[in-house]
Structure 1
């Protein structure tokens, strides 16, 4: 008896077998997946897949964050707040093209501004960019973010204002916001999850020089490296990488044999021992240091020839050793111990501005 031949059209192929109805995934599973997405951009992409995924996911974190003005509050017993805008650094990576590093802000109303990535305190002067960037059509990496006050909200009488603000989004709970102030004695304002009352610490026993968020927990550090970890436990928080501390020793106005007098020591925080350990090399990493947000990226992601260097942005060095660096931006090569203007290092300089030619080709005119 001959075996009846199957109709090729009815025979399942590798392609048809691989096809699945992703919208039919259990809602409980979709909700759990959304809880594991710590980067806001990833959550937005996840929710935009279909209506089922969107309805089963966590909501987008509320961007409406406010920060109290401590001195005004103490004078008239009323709490006055500044509205905060989120400032983020993104790396846009097209296939076989030079990547582009951008800086944007998003205010509580959802309005987005494109800022010059090398300048600080310019939220009221966005760059003119006659195109619309669709992040859903591009490969984008979020490198870091912080929160700032728009310059329109800073009045001449505001002789103290937040020097640096960080926020921890706690999934479905309220955010924790913390910051330092520019003044002779720096104070810290802290609002924990679920609390409606701000805790303003005006008499700090240590001179804070930086604050940051690492694995969902705020860290504060003073001038000699002493570190305070705010006791906030966040569950289901995924984060790769390490917490780094950079000590910079500079000697301005002197010149020894034409060499820049600058020394940089890098330390890595040992979470088990709760102490800082020397880090001899950054390896493939490039570290970006600014007055506000600092972050790192791999040389391979940046498409540059080497890592193990530090790039100063946000007017970090307006002048160094008598040299007028463009915008105060420079590159320190840890291998050579040499400081150079960013404009002398095209590999790194071309990451910023102006954008590469492919930007105009793949973007939609406004």
Structure 2
């Protein structure tokens, strides 16, 4: 039987060199003492230049691509806790600053916490990566307005070579586009449907869902191929979530109408487009009043209305949605959906809106501040301003 701790040092070095994200190197070194001794830690003193992208019309911006990983931190048994029971683990988003230092973010609000990885012992704290996310930001740190969701395409794209960097994006509340570094304009992937809601990487491919609940996949040639029948759900916003290997559509019911791609075109027309865009940014969006969840029966090609998530928790973030079992976390409970109220208003990743919890058992929605126990699933740190 092969013992992972006995792998040759040369092989461990080869594996570590293929890890692009710094937290992956730290997680690699935290497996055991022999792995830690075989691979040097990543440098935190060397400044790493950010990935600058000059985005063309209709998203005209000098942007920075921010890559993050959503992780579950498993605490050691002797971890100090104010509660009677020791915590199991918490959720956190891990990213890098423009100086190459690791930073912790709240998985939902994207706000930077005040904790530092330097204070963590990676042999004691185990990091389990649950998902990855991308976000386009201005050099000032504010997210690019008009971008709803972005993903690196293809999945193997590396930021080490900006010339090969390509991104998929849902922009202007529904248009699906592709842009490769150096292109003079965006490539619209579907000129007949401007109502796309979400993108997810699933089974090594990218899938998208529109407001009617139709799921499609994007092949390597950037062709959009229908994967499921329309859901025709009555909700106003759809999210894609992978849970236990299955793909789910979360249908969010809103108390009002969403803005559409036409609102952006109207705001960008005329001579006073800056003022119109500013008003569009400040316009309050509708808020969620109910949720329904569906899973596709791939054998029969029909949608199954899910009545309970059981022990699973769905997290609907600005730049990434994912699921986790409540049994692995401290606090909270299963059969719930965490989301941002008024997320459409701040759908460009600004991190605005209060975090709320939807409970499937009675279809109630509560503010997280009114139920502190639900907030314990996140990394227990004070939230500060992002940099």
TM-score per shorter chain, which class?
0.5 to 0.7
Cα distance in 2 for partners of 1:347, 1:299 equals 12
Structure 1 residue 165 corresponds to structure 2 residue 150: yes
Q: How does 1:53-68 map to 2 (within 5 A)?
A: none
Q: How does 1:1-366 map to 2 (within 5 A)?
A: 22-24=6-8, 27=11, 45-46=27-28, 49-50=34-35, 69-71=55-57, 82-96=63-77, 97-98=86-87, 99-107=89-97, 110-120=100-110, 122=111, 126-129=112-115, 132-152=119-139, 161-167=146-152, 169-170=155-156, 177-182=167-172, 186-190=175-179, 200-201=187-188, 204-206=191-193, 207-232=195-220, 241-251=245-255, 262-272=289-299, 276-304=303-331, 306-313=333-340, 316=343, 327-352=353-378, 354-355=380-381
TM score, norm. by length of structure 1: 0.63
Structure 1 unmatched ranges of 5 or more: 1-16, 56-61, 234-238, 253-259, 320-325, 357-366
Give the secondary-structure state (helix, strand or coil) at the position aligned to 1:149. Answer: strand
Cα distance in 2 for partners of 1:240, 1:43 equals 26
Deviation at 1:169, TM superposition (A): 3.3
Please give the per-residue CA displacement for 1:64-102, whole angstroms capped at 9, x wherever unaligned: 7665523079x9xxxx86331112322212145323322
Q: Is the 8 A contact 2:107 2:317 kept in 1?
A: no
Please give the per-residue CA displacement for 1:89-145, whole angstroms capped at 9, x wherever unaligned: 22212145323322232257633333344424x5xxx33336633444312222322
**Structure having the higher Rg:** 1
Cα distance in 1 for partners of 2:321, 2:361 equals 21
Please give the per-residue CA displacement for 1:305-361, whole angstroms capped at 9, x wherever unaligned: 631111114863889xxxxxx9421111101111111123233112336439xxxxx
More divergent stretch after superposition (165-174 vs 291-300): 165-174
Alignment CA distance shift 1:136-1:150 (3 Å): farther
The higher relative CO (CA closer than 8 Å, separation ≥ 6) is in 2
More divergent stretch after superposition (331-340 vs 163-172): 163-172
Alignment CA distance shift 1:264-1:21 (3 Å): closer
Cα distance in 2 for partners of 1:353, 1:329 equals 15
Q: Is the 8 A contact 2:104 2:113 kept in 1?
A: yes
Q: Is the 8 A contact 1:146 1:293 kept in 2?
A: yes
Deviation at 1:303, TM superposition (A): 3.2
Alignment CA distance shift 1:65-1:243 (3 Å): farther
Q: Is the 8 A contact 2:95 2:105 kept in 1?
A: yes
Q: Is the 8 A contact 1:118 1:352 kept in 2?
A: no
Please give the per-residue CA displacement for 1:216-238, whole angstroms capped at 9, x wherever unaligned: 211111100112201149xxxxx
When the two structures are aligned, how many residues end up with a matched partner? 299
Q: Is the 8 A contact 1:161 1:182 kept in 2?
A: yes
Query: Where does residue 13 of structure 1 map in the other structure?
Result: none
Q: Is the 8 A contact 2:56 2:186 kept in 1?
A: no
Q: Is the 8 A contact 1:101 1:352 kept in 2?
A: yes
Deviation at 1:38, TM superposition (A): 12
Cα distance in 2 for partners of 1:304, 1:143 equals 18
